[in-house]
Amino acid sequence: MACSLSPAYADIYEYVDNKGVVHFTNVPTSTNGKQHARIRSESRQQSIADAVATAPLKQPVRQEARATVGSGMPTTAYTRYINDACEKHGVDPSLVHAIVKVESDFNPFAISRKGAMGLMQLMPQTASDLNVNNSFSPRENIEGGVRYLRTLLERYEGNVPLALAAYNAGETNVKKWGTVPPFKETRDYVKKIMKLYKGGETAFAPRHTIYVGYSADGVLLLTDNPSNHQDKQLRQKTGRSL
């Protein structure tokens, strides 16, 4: 099906009603004449590619966005942004496609009940920490989300399920339980993404940390737990392979 794309304004406005509920709209003024705060704007000079990536998903784009991740790299309106961010931060694009599918179903304006926003559902504080100024910008949202994911993958030494659990439930809960927390939402979340991600290939080679030293009789000692050898001088060695 052929369709024409013309550059257009895609402004989004935010306002808070009398009950304190936050609303988003493309209409700058409410019925009572109150002006809303503009939180997103696109110029008429944006490229056609950006127009596709930032426009509300119409049926042809949505059909592409729902391509099966497990069957190979999907083609979506956001593939370019995902590939660029993943190349920059060293993350597997297939994993990010799976996360975006589960988080927002490729809807750049998705908002959760808890206030997470955009394609990778960034919480306001997380977005602020990542210097994401506009969570509804696909490029900014994906860049921030991939950067945060990379941090989690490094923290959990390439353990994808743990990184996903922390992305969903927070690092505090993963630390508390020492594994994927026993929350139905989080466990279902991890299962869905891992299924899309073809059973859990690592997003990058995991890092291993060992400690090297010698016993009193000169025998080489290798251990991953230096606390058991506090009487010895051990040298830390970290790498992709041992």
Cα–Cα distance, 118 to 12 (Å, whole number): 13
Cα–Cα distance, 53 to 65 (Å, whole number): 11
* Set 64, 87, 103, 140: catalytic member: 103
Number of residues assigned to the chain: 242
Query: CA angle, corner 195, sides to 189 and 198, nearest 5?
Result: 140
Cα–Cα distance, 11 to 86 (Å, whole number): 28
Cα–Cα distance, 223 to 193 (Å, whole number): 34
CB neighbour list of residue 103: distance below 8 Å, 6 or more residues apart: 110, 116, 119, 120, 121
Q: What is the CB neighbour count within 10 angstroms for residue 6?
A: 7
Residue 17 phi/psi, 5-degree rounding, is -80, 180
Q: Is 103 a catalytic residue?
A: yes
Residue 184 phi/psi, 5-degree rounding, is -55, -45
Catalytic residue numbers read 103
